[in-house]
A and B are shown apart, each in its own frame.
Chain A
Amino acid sequence: MAKMRWIALAGGIMLANAVLAQTKDAAVQSIEEYRAMLEDGNPSDLFEAKGEDLWKQIRGPKNASLQQCDLGKGPGVVAGAFVELPRYFADTQRVQDLESRIVTCMQVLQGFDAAKIASTPFDSGEQKNVTALATWIAAQSKGMRFNVPQEHVKEQTAYEIGKRLFFQRGGPHDFACATCHGQDGKRIRLQELANLTRFPGDGVGIAAWPAYRVSTGQMWGMQQRLNDCYRQQRFPYAVFGSDAIIALGVYLGVNSHGAQSVAPAIKR
């Protein structure tokens, strides 16, 4: 009799757990369905078209296009460039990510003021153009696999600094990037979190941005994405193109070695 009761109790607990698991899955599943529906009409197409136009257009004080811009694979080579960034550039003697490299080309080829663009708020003025260019350039590497180089000493140093930044706790909440992105299978509210301290899989993290954000109706590049992570960590404002953002990009990019790029993606 006692045994029967135990079995019934155990069965009850298992059933309760199963129901609970099912509810959880249903919530996560409906979000996945929502995301899948969004894929059908990703507005990033519009930003891609604008970016391609900006690449070819004669603009700036020097009346030039960006078609001779060297994104790391030689002047004018766009396909495959995104999945090998950030990387070291001999002309600037810096490790640069896609967006900071675009700004360098806008300065050198077209005569724009790079410092002014860097201090322009996201989603306004020339920053909007940088995002559109990044969206089109990233799209030319869609489906390719990440291969961020670690040959130059500055690329190796950037990875090590990026790792230290990733684990750096601070601000009133003691938050680091790793607080949310340092473990497998965790969530904030219903948002699933990728573990970015190791290979996170295809189309995750750096392999998804630039992305269109449905919640804000904006196209965001990786610079803005990381700036917003730091905002939520209660850190001060991470400056566009700053060494911290580049180093984090190297850390994430190298950890994603071999991951397939889905950028430009669509996010909630």
Chain B
Amino acid sequence: MNKNKWMSFFGFSAVCFFAGCAWHPGGLTSLDAQTEAVVRSSFRPEGIVKLDALDTDETNRLCSAAAVRAEPLDEDTARRIEAENFNSIVMPPNGQFIGDWRKGEIIAQSGRGLTFSDNGKSPNGGNCYNCHQIDKKEIAYGTIGPSLFNYGKIRGVQDPNSADSRPIVEYTWRKIWNAKGFNACSNMPRVGHKGILSPEQIADVMALLLDPKSPVNQ
């Protein structure tokens, strides 16, 4: 046995020691396959949620697998996933980036929609306050995402429809539409990409963040 063979033998043993190949021939692959089988046998459709909610894309599969290994995605994969998500972003069809901040606040407050106990008839919420501070008057905000208080003010937005504001307006649209275009394994839902909110609803949330008259920017 030459040195390389020893190295690979040792590497395999080390993997098996930590991942527990001894339990099952095939080790990790087998555990992933068994998990897949468990998922397929453990859920049933209910209300508006069908079993296809369990089918997911490469972005989620790679991020889930990396989290199981307790390591970040490798740089090349992360950049590739981000590029794919970024390139799929759809800008507002009517060129309307900024809607009504009052409607945006209602959308940001609402966590409704797309669970099996929702009826699919009322509009979906954005779940924004679940994770972000937004209007300071709302003290019941979550902390999984960063604070968005003064979002537009901090970035110097005086008129969100002006040419000066265009870069930050476009960036914000893209971030809401598909946060994985910027951070492959972001915890943030891909709000536009997955159709959670309509383009009109996203424009209203944009106004909440960027309109100088919005309470967020006072």
Cβ-neighbour of A23 out of B67, B129, B139, B187 (below 8 A):
B139
Residues in A whose Cβ lies below 8 Å from that of B144: 179-180, 183, 186-188, 193
Chain B positions 160 through 199: 1 when the CB is less than 8 Å from some CB of chain A, otherwise 0: 0000000000000000000010000001011000111000
B94 at the interface (CB under 8 A from A): no
Residues in A whose Cβ lies below 8 Å from that of B130: 188-189
B45 at the interface (CB under 8 A from A): yes
Residues in B whose Cβ lies below 8 Å from that of A160: 20, 31
Nearest Cβ distance between residue A187 and chain B, in whole angstroms?
5
Cβ-neighbour of B42 out of A173, A178, A186, A239 (below 8 A):
A239
**Structural contact, A236 and B54, CB atoms closer than 8 A:** yes
Not counting A235-B53, A237-B49, a sample of 15 additional A-B residue pairs whose C-beta atoms are within 8 angstroms of each other reads A27-B139, A156-B23, A161-B35, A164-B32, A171-B114, A173-B194, A176-B64, A176-B67, A189-B130, A189-B142, A190-B139, A193-B144, A230-B43, A234-B115, A236-B116
A175 at the interface (CB under 8 A from B): yes
| Alpha-carbon distance between A170 and B50 when the two chains are bound, in angstroms | 12
Residues in B whose Cβ lies below 8 Å from that of A111: none
A41 at the interface (CB under 8 A from B): no
Chain A positions 143 through 181: 1 when the CB is less than 8 Å from some CB of chain B, otherwise 0: 000000000010011001101110111111111101110
Q: A156-B20, A188-B144 are in contact. Are A231 and B117 (CB under 8 A)?
A: yes
CB-CB contacts below 8 Å: A124-160 with B? 153, 156-157, 160
Cβ-neighbour of A164 out of B44, B50, B68 (below 8 A):
B68
A-side interface residues toward B, CB under 8 Å? 23-24, 27, 153, 156-157, 160-161, 163-165, 167-176, 178-180, 182-183, 185-190, 193, 230-232, 234-239, 242-245, 247
B102 at the interface (CB under 8 A from A): no
> Looking across the interface, which residue of chain A has its beta carbon closest to that of B51?
A236
A sample of 21 inter-chain contacts (CB < 8 A) reads A161-B31, A165-B38, A167-B67, A168-B39, A170-B54, A170-B56, A172-B194, A174-B56, A174-B190, A186-B143, A186-B144, A188-B131, A189-B140, A231-B115, A234-B53, A234-B114, A235-B54, A236-B44, A236-B116, A243-B41, A244-B39
Determine chain A's interface SS by DSSP, over half rule: mixed
Cβ-neighbour of A178 out of B43, B45, B67, B129 (below 8 A):
B67
Q: A157-B24, A171-B53 are in contact. Are A244 and B43 (CB under 8 A)?
A: yes
Nearest Cβ distance between residue A114 and chain B, in whole angstroms?
16
> Looking across the interface, which residue of chain A has its beta carbon closest to that of B189?
A173
**Structural contact, B51 and A232, CB atoms closer than 8 A:** no
Nearest Cβ distance between residue A31 and chain B, in whole angstroms?
10
Q: A157-B31, A237-B43, A245-B42 are in contact. Are A170 and B60 (CB under 8 A)?
A: yes
**Structural contact, A236 and B43, CB atoms closer than 8 A:** yes
Q: A27-B139, A160-B31 are in contact. Are A169 and B68 (CB under 8 A)?
A: no
B75 at the interface (CB under 8 A from A): no
| Alpha-carbon distance between A172 and B133 when the two chains are bound, in angstroms | 23
B63 at the interface (CB under 8 A from A): yes
Nearest Cβ distance between residue A243 and chain B, in whole angstroms?
4
**Structural contact, B142 and A186, CB atoms closer than 8 A:** yes
Chain B positions 58 through 74: 1 when the CB is less than 8 Å from some CB of chain A, otherwise 0: 01100110011000000
